[in-house]
Structure formats: C-alpha cells, structure tokens
Amino acid sequence: MNFLHALRLRQMVDLHWSSLGRALRNFGVADADLDDALQQAYVVAATKVDAIELGKERAFLLGTCVHVAARLRRAKGRAREIADYDLDAIASDAVPADVQLDAERAREDLARILDALGPELREVFVLYEIEELTMAVIASALDVPPGTVASRLRRAREEFRVLVAKRGRHK
C-alpha cells in the first residue's frame, strides 16, 4: 500500500467508522462482535483500496459490512433462529402503556423487528431507511438488480409497518 492509498484508507476509517459500526449492529451483529466485524470490513477495504471508486467509499464499505454480517451470522448458525422468529414475541414483550419508551428499549424492539424481517429485506431496509443510500447505490453495493432492491424495500416496509403496529397495539 503506497502513501496515497494509506491516506485514503485512513480517511475512510476516520469518516465512516461510526456509521459502519451502527450499520453492522443494525444488520444483526452482536455488540460483542462489532469491533471484530469492523476490523474485517476495513481489512477487506485495505486489500481493495485501489479499486474503490472515488466518492463511493461509504457504499463500498457498507456493502462489505453486509457480507461480513452475513458471514458472522452463518458462523453462529443464527440464520435459522431468525427465520423461525416468533413474531408474537415482539408484541408480548412490548413496553407497558404507562411506561415511556426510552431509547434503549426502542433499540431492543427495533432489533427484534429487524430480526423478523429476515436478512435480505433487512439489508435493503437498513441501507435505505437508516443509512439513507439511494436504491441505485444499494443495488451496486449488494450486486443485485435495482428492481430487486425496490421490491425488497417495498416488502420490508410493509412488514415493518405491520410489526410496528402490532407492537403499538400491545402497549
């Protein structure tokens, strides 16, 4: 890695470290594995820094995070757990009506809802709704057609709304 590549990579770390950590957590990576996952994502970026297009660093890193999260999920055998997730558990574990929703509780609820979406819908939903990437950039980052991104986003939104409403009814 030459000096200019090192500078570019360092800037990628400084600028995107926080948002990648947040994205990985929203992709379902456990808190204990976040630092390790972040390192894996940047190690991949270090090997391909000369191939990353200028101005598309964040999209590249987020796309890498999707793969890292998927690999961790496979390693931990959690895919089946997510598929079999009991949606009623979200509602039954919801906050009582007289308790104000605090940020921590909201985060836990959101994590459960995102788990319930399943990996494919979750990835697109997080990248669009939380990381605010455009559909074209998501399609490029995930290496899927733009139409697929649009349909996954539509389905993810529908399921998200249903789950949020279900949670609200039990409050």
* Contact residues: other proteins, CB under 8 A: 1, 3, 6-7, 9-11, 13-14, 17-18, 21-22, 25-26, 32-36, 38-39, 42-43, 46-47, 71, 74-75, 101, 103, 106-107, 109-110, 113, 126, 128-130, 132, 157, 160-161, 164, 167-168
Minimum Å gap between C-beta 159 and other proteins is 12
Minimum Å gap between C-beta 119 and other proteins is 17
Minimum Å gap between C-beta 105 and other proteins is 8
CA separation for the pair 53, 46 (Å, rounded): 14
**Nearest to other proteins of 60, 128 (CB atom):** 128
Helices (H), the chain: 3-26, 34-47, 57-76, 79-83, 87-92, 103-117, 119-125, 135-142, 146-169
Contacts of 37 (CB under 8 A, 6+ apart): 24, 29, 65, 68, 69, 72
Report which DSSP code applies to 1: -
CA separation for the pair 110, 97 (Å, rounded): 17
**Nearest to other proteins of 155, 157 (CB atom):** 157
Minimum Å gap between C-beta 95 and other proteins is 11
